[in-house]
Amino acid sequence: MRGEARSYAAASLTLLAIGCLPKLPNPAVEECPQAGTAESPCAPSASAPSPMFRRDTRHTAQSTALGPSVGRVKWTVDAGRAIHSTPAVATDGTVYFGSHDRLFRAVTPDGSVSWTFTNGESHTSAAIRNDGVIYTASEEFGSLYLYALNPTGTLRWKAAIGEKTHASPTISRTGTIYLCSHDRNLYAFEPDGKLRWKTVVGECHSSAAIGVDDTIYVGSEETNRLYAVQADGTIAWGFPVDASIESSPALGSDGTIFVGANDGRLYAVNPDGTLKWSFETGGKVVSSPAVSAGWDGGLVGCAPGVVFVGSRDGKLYAISPSGTKAWDYQTDAGISYSSPSLDREATTYVGSLDGNVYAIDCNGSLKWKVATGGPISNSSPALSDDGTIYVGSDDGRLYAIGE
């Protein structure tokens, strides 16, 4: 171990010398006491209602909040250009999001902008640590950076990445930040911004999900594979599909990995990398699946383990844990990268290219829909503790939807 540590330190010094890593002090102990525990300041926020893309490290998109029974627009924030970022919601209700206007914003629950940070065009979603530090990635003058921002909006550090990314950072229980890039690498960063490792997985649009054993799962749009990567960066296996993967994987309670592909299928893969089942939709599946905790108030679509996913055919699908269709709901246009989110009664919220946010109960019936001023091509709904739903639209506005 000492030899490995010396080798790692030497490699880090070399990278620092050539400018590949930020010149930062090494705060490993001070930055992250109780590393690997839920209490660590560098762990994913345990109290934030929506601390990262797909809400948790397994990417279930399960919320403990109850969404609004009737949908109406409470307020909007105009960013001027398309919002592809999925909002992150902090413990105090602050909403964080990036935009194509090159600004990252912090917005209060009443719709007031607290601060902005200039960080370049953003396609990705933020992630929030226990201590309130925010991670976000964006393109700055042709270069891609992962930023760490303090809750006041000041820069903590930034780390360079090879090319643009549409993936969002995921924080592990140990505080490691995982991010996929179009430069073909999956990156692992320490909480102080130092590069831990990078592993080639092919050009990657997918955001990493993390299992209880710290295995990282990510899809590749170049190699057409779902990868399982160990915490040291070693690839455990790669499961091949028949088309590129732009969807981000989600994990069931039994460790099953669910991911969509451009062949129009949702795949369920066992933890050993073998196929459990696949389900065919009528269009490409670039939307990321959500896995329900279940609700006692309904039929088969309300059972625990039901998987919800959108398709470019415009349908939201509810698929049973055995891979059979529980129901589908047709929207008025395709469902693209906007991905379903679930409240505690397994009501699904999803955006469509028709510009609407849909609320569909776990029996497959429409509760309400709310129109925005443009297609919802990328942003996914995020729930706050009070049930407010936040989502970005291609019309350049962040919408707060509630009763």
Q: What is the pLDDT at residue 329?
A: 98
Residue 14 lies in a domain: no
Is 29 a member of any domain? Answer: no
Strands in 325-330's sheet, in edge-to-edge order, are 290-291, 307-310, 315-319, 325-330
Evaluate whether residue 112 is within a structural domain: yes
H, E, C per residue of 141-210: CCEEEEEEECCCCCEEEEEEECCCCCCCCEECCCCCEEEECCCCEEEEECCCCCEEEEEECCCCCCCCEE
* CATH number for 294: 2.130.10.10
Residue 25: predicted pLDDT? 33
Count of Cβ atoms closer than 10 Å to residue 306 Cβ? 25
- In this prediction, the residues of the chain whose per-residue pLDDT falls under 50 are 1-29
Q: Is residue 321 part of a domain?
A: yes
Has this prediction a pTM greater than 0.75?
A: yes
- Res 12: pLDDT: 38
Range(s) of the domain holding residue 152: 34-402
User: How many domains in the chain?
Assistant: 1
Please give the span between the terminal C-alpha atoms of the chain, in angstroms, as a whole number.
57
Indicate whether 2 belongs to any domain: no
Q: Is 10 part of any domain? A: no
pLDDT of residue 30: 64
Place of tokens 């589908």: 328
Cβ pair 177, 168 in contact under 8 A: no
pLDDT at 165: 77
pLDDT tens digits along 202-230: 988 899 999 999 999 999 999 999 999 99
The answer to the question of residue 21 being in a domain is no
Residue 3, domain member (yes or no): no
